Structure 1
Amino acid sequence: MSLEEIRDRVAKAEAEAGRAPGSVTLIAISKVQPLERVEAVLQAGHRIFGENKVQEAQGKWPELMERFAGVELHLVGPLQSNKTRPAVELFDAIHSLDRIKLARRLADHAQERGACPELFIQVNTGEEPQKAGVLPGEADDFVAECRAMDLPVRGLMCIPPVDETPSLHFALLAKIAERNGLSGLSMGMSGDFEQAIALGATHVRVGSAIFGERSYG
């Protein structure tokens, strides 16, 4: 698989869903990928990337951003409260807002800077105890609390359980977003992004299908 093939599949899924061309943002998930693979995707013209950890992004992206103009960086992994300041400074969007303590920290840093990344609230659609995210039944109240802090909540994000049909979770996320007047839906990964686009995804997070399998060794 290559970046061009993934772009073609995104465009085809947009067309099949009756969506406008370019209405879906492709986030290339570059966590733990070798630098040469990331540079190859940058050289191919892609500029929107996602990282899981603030520390890894700090060690990789400032230098790359000097060499490649126009990079947009998204944090898609869990954010620790003590990493909010560097996250607010480095990322253009944060997809893992999942608790009030974190919302307060982000609001404080945003006020200091006079700017804040776009925020997506992570919803634990499968109600899995080991997974981060606001429970579906608590999502409406959480959205309201974040808005009361003047946080720029763009939308919602989910990671469906691995052993369940992802489309059910995508549909649930879309329903919660719609009733809260949120336009952003960060959902869909390498194995299911076409289903996510069919159900309204505005941001899909694709890693291994673009870069190849990760090496954690």
Structure 2
Amino acid sequence: MGQNFNNFGRINDRLIVGAHPRDADDIDLLYNQNNQNRVTAIVNLQRSGEPDRGDIDAITEACALLDNRIWYQRVPIRDGNGESLCFHLPEAVGILNRAILERATEPPGTVYLHCCRGIGRSPSVAVAYFFWFTDMTLDDAIAFVIAGRNVAVPNRPAIIQATNNILGANVNGNIGAAERVRIQGHVTTLPRVTNA
């Protein structure tokens, strides 16, 4: 693939959301972009049994061959399943936050967040990240992610349910500073997964 891989959108200077890399050439392309776009971390939301998942083994090996210059994590979430997304959202957001803090705090580091097509799961995780880790409302976070990835269809009900589950309360898209602190404390203390 390599030269034809362009099915993604830049959300901000630290985050790109898109379709999955298909092979080692796509990893090389992501890593060898100009310095302001260089991908230094990949968060993969695909499950192993998905029919269109690319060559995950080759991708993992390509990341390893780059001597850990690309940090690679996988949080498998079932495609098209709001319950699976809701259940795994805190873990996925915690991993995304860790990737941003450890690998993308200064240029040229960028995190590449993907599922299969970069339409549902990965935009939902990005929205939850901005909702939980910035002062954006849920609607603002959805608009922000869609502005960078215009084909995105974030799962608003799953994000609200995950937020409710963490807080033990019902929210509809607005949370205050105290709730954000509780959510951040929860997702950042979840057990860390090992490099996939």
TM-score using structure 1 length: 0.32
Q: Which has the larger radius of gyration?
A: 1
